Amino acid sequence: MPDDMLFSLSQTVSAISRADCREALTASVLKGVQHFGFESFTLNINVRDAYEANANPVLTTHADSFHLEYDSLKLYELDPVLLCGLHADQPFCWNSEVDHVTPTSNKLVEMFRAMPLINGLVVPLPSSEGRSSLINLATSRDICISEGVVHSISIIAHTAMIKAESLGVVSEDVSGRFADANLSHRQIEILHWAARGKSNNDIATIMQLSRRTVDWHMSEVLRRLKVASRSQAVALLHGRPPSR
């Protein structure tokens, strides 16, 4: 990966980690994806279907009017990008020249061209069973979407997803599950990274903290949740009783 791409990625991850509300998180992600040629994005976490993906995005840069028109025409039922994204297990690129076969779906092409949107990228993200998580990015320019760009966007999206969950801006409010434990946003974020299989060293690098700080927060998570191991804490995070 080129040095300038690595620098942009590092700056973006750092900004996302510092975000303290939905608006700041959206701005940090947008600034980051702009470095890679994209102009807008929508982040969905654990949605059931295309309707929910349009009606309840966790983060989006599209105006409410876009989602309202999209909903009124029921384009979520016909949008091949969204429908493919909900079932994808690998990132894929898209463009507005996709062959649409019905008059209603042609409205989608008209909307994209009016904005205008030429091409984009969809990156699937980890999700609960029976749900889908993804980030969908778009641009009005004809850009080259290299493997390095896809990899960078994937890291940005994963980081944003973890941050959104730790801030409690996801519909299923993770912080609410731990109300009795009174975990901080930082501790919830650390636990989410642990649930992704990251070691304390990895988490320290991602969140730009010292290893000692991460170790302390992880021990506090275990103490406050009254469990003996990180695997038990992760089980509680996913709503399962911890095995003893």
Question: 162 and 184 share a domain?
Answer: no
Question: 29 and 99 share a domain?
Answer: yes
Question: 201 and 127 share a domain?
Answer: no
Question: 15 and 33 share a domain?
Answer: yes
Question: 53 and 163 share a domain?
Answer: yes
Question: 101 and 8 share a domain?
Answer: yes
CATH number of the domain that 182 lies in?
1.10.10.10
C-alpha separations of 17 from 48, 119, 159, 208 in Å: 27, 28, 8, 8
Question: 36 and 139 share a domain?
Answer: yes
Interstrand relation of 92-95 and 119-125 (parallel, antiparallel or unpaired): antiparallel
Residue 242 located in a structural domain? no
DSSP string, 207-232: HT--HHHHHHHHHHHHHHHT-SSHHH
Statement: the pTM of the whole predicted model exceeds 0.85: no
Question: 95 and 61 share a domain?
Answer: yes
The pLDDT profile of the chain, 244 residues, written as one tens digit per residue, is 788 889 999 999 999 999 999 999 999 999 999 999 999 999 999 888 888 888 788 999 987 777 777 777 777 787 888 889 999 999 999 886 654 434 445 666 666 666 677 789 999 999 888 889 999 999 988 888 999 999 999 999 999 999 998 887 775 544 444 556 778 888 888 988 888 888 999 999 988 899 999 999 999 999 888 888 888 888 777 665 555 4
Domain ranges, residue 132: 3-167
Show Cβ contacts of residue 102 under 8 Å, excluding neighbours closer than 6 positions. Answer: 78
Residue 244 located in a structural domain? no
How many domains is the chain built from? 2
191 within 8 A of 232, measured Cβ to Cβ: no
From 124, 147, 167, give the residue that closes a domain.
167
Place of tokens 């990274």: 193
From 128, 143, 167, give the residue that closes a domain.
167
Residue 16 located in a structural domain? yes
Tell me the residue type at 96.
Answer: S
From 146, 167, 188, give the residue that closes a domain.
167
Question: 142 and 216 share a domain?
Answer: no
Question: 8 and 47 share a domain?
Answer: yes
88 within 8 A of 122, measured Cβ to Cβ: yes
Question: 204 and 227 share a domain?
Answer: yes
Question: 88 and 139 share a domain?
Answer: yes
CATH number of the domain that 138 lies in?
3.30.450.80
Residue 70 located in a structural domain? yes
